[in-house]
Amino acid sequence: MNTLMWRLHRNQVYIAGAAFIALTVLLLITGITMSNDYHTFLRNCGATHSCGDVNQLFSGDSLIIDLVNATMAVPLLFGVFWGAPLLAREFEDGTHNLAWTQGVTRRRWLSGNVIWALLAAAVWGGAMAALVSWWRLPENALGLPGVRISTGSFDVQGIVPVAYSVFAVALGIAVGSVMKRVLPAIATTLVAFVAVRLLVAQFARPHYMTPLSTLVPLGAGANAAPSGAWVLSTAFVGPNGRNYGVASTGTGGPAICRGSGSPLACFSSHGFHTLINYQPASRFWAFQGIEAGIFIVLAAALIAVAYRVVLTRDA
């Protein structure tokens, strides 16, 4: 059974392995360069006692940073090219009937497919996450606002890529078991995976834990948030604690300073501040654990659906 699994899916393994090796070489070369730049930057800071503008340290690396952030699509590729065709192709071609009439039970046939697919997704996702997490160490260490915990960078490091990969493959398997056609299963898996990821990132993740708040002077903006924080919102707050939302100091908010030549200075003199709501960088691993748990639970539910569909369907 294991030999058959390998023969059926070895091409996908070869392609994924080659892509990972190419990415590894690229990230090793650029990662070592970034690390050297970072340590040189720290030595210069120690010598001059002035670190200057840290935002400019990796400003010339935007292309490679975009490539690294694009690895968040890797779990989707697993779901589309591994998970969705896994059962759908067997049902579409009718090869499952051959397996079931050769002394292999449905449960054993399904378990063999599912276990190897999920294991491969977890291994590849873990290897990718470890590589990207190492590559991002210098940038994370700078503590720039949201650099580690906000949407985008959060999704490509830590442990969540493993959970995303397992979920994507489980989703593809479940969809394939229901639809029994490769192309519809691929399309449905793609849409469903993107939808779930967006919903979780935009609506659930900001509220895993109660956000913290801090008052900063007007004009300071989100950059005044604690180091590495993920800024969720900013608001215009009066001296009495009234929240005016995102009203501009020039055209909105109270009328006390309208017509003033310098609205910002006027509002500041009357005790107005900017309220920043944020998630601190220290919650990175807590958020990672919560989100990974969500997707692992979803994956388990999807695999249960696949088992129910396959074990109860007509041959």
Q: Determine the pLDDT at residue 151.
A: 73
Those residues whose C-beta lies under 8 Å from the C-beta of residue 145, and which sit 6 or more positions away, are 222, 223, 225, 227, 228, 229, 230, 231
| 3-state SS class at 275 | strand
**Domain-wise residue ranges, the chain:** 2-209+282-312, 230-279
How crowded is the C-beta side of 304, counted as CA atoms within 13 Å? 6
Rounded to whole angstroms, the Cα distance separating 224 from 278 reads: 11
Radius of gyration of the chain (CA): 25
Residue 12's alpha-carbon distances to 26, 123, 290, in angstroms, are 21, 14, 31
Those residues whose C-beta lies under 8 Å from the C-beta of residue 126, and which sit 6 or more positions away, are 161, 162
Amino acid at 216: V
Q: Determine the pLDDT at residue 145.
A: 55
Rounded to whole angstroms, the Cα distance separating 231 from 187 reads: 34
Rounded to whole angstroms, the Cα distance separating 226 from 206 reads: 17
Using DSSP bridges, classify how beta strands 212-217 and 230-237 pair: parallel, antiparallel or unpaired: unpaired
- Please name the residue ranges forming H helices in the chain: 2-48, 62-69, 74-78, 84-93, 95-100, 106-135, 137-141, 160-179, 182-199, 263-269, 284-312
The dihedral built from the CA positions of residue 240, 245, 246 and 252, taken in this order, carries a sign that is: negative
Q: Which helix (H) or strand (E) is 216 found in, with range? A: strand 212-217
Under a CB-based contact definition with an 8 Å cutoff, are residues 114 and 303 in contact? yes
pLDDT tens for the chain, 315 residues long, are 555 555 555 666 667 677 778 777 877 777 777 666 665 665 665 455 455 554 555 554 566 777 777 788 889 988 998 889 988 888 876 665 555 556 667 788 788 888 888 998 999 899 988 988 888 777 776 655 556 777 778 898 899 999 999 999 999 999 999 998 999 999 999 999 999 999 999 999 999 999 999 888 887 776 777 877 888 888 888 888 788 776 555 555 566 776 666 777 787 777 888 888 999 988 999 999 999 999 999 999 999 999 998 888 655
Rounded to whole angstroms, the Cα distance separating 38 from 44 reads: 10
pTM: 0.81
Rounded to whole angstroms, the Cα distance separating 221 from 67 reads: 29
Tokens matching residue 98: 């051959």
Amino acid at 45: C
Helices 106-135 and 2-48: crossing angle in degrees, nearest 10, is 20
Q: Determine the pLDDT at residue 176.
A: 92
The dihedral built from the CA positions of residue 219, 222, 225 and 227, taken in this order, carries a sign that is: negative
Rounded to whole angstroms, the Cα distance separating 217 from 86 reads: 57
- Indicate the DSSP class of residue 80: I
Q: Which helix (H) or strand (E) is 249 found in, with range? A: none
